[in-house]
Amino acid sequence: MVEPGLIRAAQTGDRDALITLLREIETHVYRTAFYILNNEQDAHDAAQEALIRIYTKIDSYEEKAQFKTWVQRIVTNICIDKFRRNKPTVSIEEHELVFQGKESVEREVMSGYTAQDIREAIEQLPDHHRSVVVLRYLQDFSYNEIADSLNLPLNTVKSYLFRARQQLQHLLQDYQKGGVSG
């Protein structure tokens, strides 16, 4: 994800290295926040808060854990705190669909429904299940990296993922039957 030399330079007070480091991780941080919070404005706020915390705490990072794991722990904790403080709101986004040809219209509409339904299903998961799903399937973390990020035992991570998959399967059962909800 990020070069270790850049991290070390940022830790020693190299302002340019720190700015470069934050720019390299900002999209990753926002994406995680968005998938956990499922609200664009809240995700921007959480990502900004996470980047500020990384900026102020970079000297406390130890190379015992991977940098991306350390960053994910910060982002996830901020999102969970934010989610607990605020009741979740449903954001209604307007999307402009651009169709390439008649045969792609149905596919694009269906993929839009599918993506929205998956986001809504993930949003319905309990906080701890949502966090492990986002880290595993959207951020491609290993089970060990998730355990490190969330400070959980490995078996707990596996259990949360198992239960979350069951819940998602139930929530998305219309797709398994070939239907579309909404």
Burial of 16 (0-12, 13-18, 19+ CB in 10 A): exposed
- Report which of residues 38 and 153 the model is more confident about: 153
**Secondary structure class of 97 (helix, strand, coil):** coil
What are the tens digits of pLDDT across the range 14-53?
999 999 999 999 999 999 898 888 888 999 999 999 999 9
Cβ atoms of 123 and 72 within 8 Å: the answer is: no
Q: Mean pLDDT, to the nearest integer, of 55-63?
A: 89
User: What is 115-179's CATH number, 1.10.10.10, 1.10.3720.10, 1.10.580.10, 1.20.1050.10?
Assistant: 1.10.10.10
What DSSP line would sit under 22-50, residue for residue? Answer: HHHHHHHHHHHHHHHH--HHHHHHHHHHH
Task: Report the distance separating Cα 180 and Cα 182, nearest Å.
Answer: 7
Number of H helices, E strands in the chain: 9, 0
Do 4-86 and 115-179 fold alike per CATH?
Answer: no
Checking if the pLDDT of 150 tops 80, the result is yes
pLDDT of residue 50: 94
Q: What ranges do the domains of the chain cover?
A: 4-86, 115-179
CATH level 3 topology of 4-86: Rna Polymerase Sigma Factor; Chain: A (1.10.1740)
Diameter over CA atoms, the chain: 57
pLDDT of residue 112: 52
**Secondary structure class of 101 (helix, strand, coil):** coil
Task: Report the distance separating Cα 76 and Cα 130, nearest Å.
Answer: 10
- Report which of residues 51 and 140 the model is more confident about: 51
Whether pTM > 0.85 for this model: the answer is: no
What are the tens digits of pLDDT across the range 84-138?
666 444 443 444 444 444 444 445 444 555 667 777 888 888 888 988 988 888 7
